[in-house]
Amino acid sequence: MSRITSSRGVKLLIIIVAIFGLGVGVAFLWVQRTKTNTDLLLLYGNVDIREVQLAFRQPGRVAEMSFDEGDAVKAGARMAVLDAQPYREALAAAEASVQMAQAELAKLRHGLRPQEVTQAREALKQAQAIAADAERNYQRQSSLLASGATSQRTVDAARAIRDQSVAGVGAAKAALSQASEGFRKEDIAAAEARLAAAQAAKAQAVTALTDAELLAPSDGTVIARVREPGSMVASQSTVYSLSLDKPVYVRAYVGEPDLGRIAPGTTVRVKSDTSDTVYRGQIGFISPRAEFTPKTVETTDLRTDLVYRLRIVIDETDRDAALRQGMPVTIEIDATTRMTSDIGSAGRES
């Protein structure tokens, strides 16, 4: 009887120990799970992909549209073309103006031709000869005036002719000096300015002709084709809307109590409702200004609180076409990563 009682006591003791061990294990798992949930910060946001409105800088008639909605384009691809004939003609006129200004400037810099200088020198000799003859005639008429062989009128006319011939000699000397020295520096400077203006007009014509082609600024996807060939477009009128392939951002918001658990550079995990893919990213920006929670944030706990906007950059190696503009996503942040980073930073500072 005593052996039976002893056996039952041992079994009871084993059961008690097993129950106690099970309870300790459950408690341990609960503590670990609670700790994990505490370390994991969940945020909610939306995919933010940048878009570009492509337009011509020049007005004109659309001659070619190379892509449709949904087409993928590479950076530098020719997306649309204007009728470039008016711009080619404007460039030809600008080139002619440049050539004319260059010729005018070269003429002023080189001065007069040698033949023109020789002509001015011979004109001076002719004027001097005429002046010498006029001086002799005046002297002769003056000597005859006393004997009455000539009249005062004749002497006065001879004097006038002499004075005119002397003035002609002075004018011929000035013309020869100008021909020898060339044109004034001010005239050359004005010609240089006219050439610079003509060259600037040509550069504008070249730019206008280049702008007749619309090129893709980067890789992306066409989300809107606004014009068709034959359409007249004004300057800066949208022709295509392009969604850029990179970078891909996530716009999210964090409440003030959790602001200390994150920092720029913190690694995050991004998930969407459409797939099980986990995207890696980093917090690239935290707004220094608080704002009311936008209506697009999918959480009820923060709807009436002030929050801070985050910008998360998706890792390029993880980015794919599944992330679309405005898609709601969930962001998971391991707070221990921030704590470890802070400890490391403090160690480096000390």
193 and 94 share one domain: yes
Give the confidence band of 335 by pLDDT, cuts at 50, 70, 90. low
Statement: residue 299 has pLDDT above 70: no
Residue 15 lies in a domain: no
Q: Above pLDDT 90, what percent of the chain?
A: 31
For residues 200 and 33, the model is more confident at: 200
pTM passes above 0.95: no
255 and 326 share one domain: yes
Which of the listed residues 154, 184, 206 is the one where a domain comes to its end? 206
Tokens 């999918």 correspond to what residue? Answer: 298
Residue 11 lies in a domain: no
Strand runs (DSSP E) across 31-125, as ranges? Answer: 40-55, 60-65, 72-73, 78-82
Residue 315: half-sphere exposure toward Cβ, Cα within 13 Å: 13
Name the range with the highest mean pLDDT among 185-189, 214-218, 336-340.
214-218
226 and 275 share one domain: no
Answer whether 82's CB lies under 8 Å from 212's CB. Answer: yes
At 343 the pLDDT is 34
100 and 173 share one domain: yes
255 and 310 share one domain: yes
Residue 17 lies in a domain: no
224 and 255 share one domain: no
Answer whether 216's CB lies under 8 Å from 79's CB. Answer: yes
At 73 the pLDDT is 94
Residue 115 lies in a domain: yes
Statement: residue 238 has pLDDT above 60: yes
Q: How many domains does the chain have?
A: 3
C-alpha torsion sign, points 23, 29, 31, 33:
negative
Q: What is the mean pLDDT of residues 70-96?
A: 95
Statement: residue 52 has pLDDT above 90: yes
Statement: residue 35 has pLDDT above 50: no
Q: Two tokens at 17? A: 């120990």
The per-residue pLDDT for range 157-180, each reduced to its tens digit, is 888 988 898 898 888 888 877 776
CATH number of the domain that 299 lies in? 2.40.30.170
Name the range with the highest mean pLDDT among 72-86, 184-198, 257-271, 288-302.
72-86
For residues 256 and 94, the model is more confident at: 94
For residues 345 and 137, the model is more confident at: 137
Range name among 1-15, 217-231, 258-272, 301-315 with the lowest pLDDT average: 1-15
291 and 319 share one domain: yes
Range name among 138-147, 152-161, 165-174, 214-223 with the lowest pLDDT average: 138-147
154 and 75 share one domain: no
CATH number of the domain that 69 lies in? 2.40.50.100
Per the structure, the complete domain to which residue 109 belongs is given by 90-206
235 and 280 share one domain: no
At 107 the pLDDT is 85
d(CA 72, CA 338): 38
Consecutive H or E run containing 162: helix 152-181
196 and 97 share one domain: yes
Q: What is the mean pLDDT of residues 31-42?
A: 60
165 and 236 share one domain: no
For residues 319 and 190, the model is more confident at: 190
230 and 256 share one domain: no
Residue 21 lies in a domain: no
Residue 175 lies in a domain: yes
Residue 35 lies in a domain: no
Residue 61 lies in a domain: yes
At 13 the pLDDT is 63
Give the confidence band of 340 by pLDDT, cuts at 50, 70, 90. very low
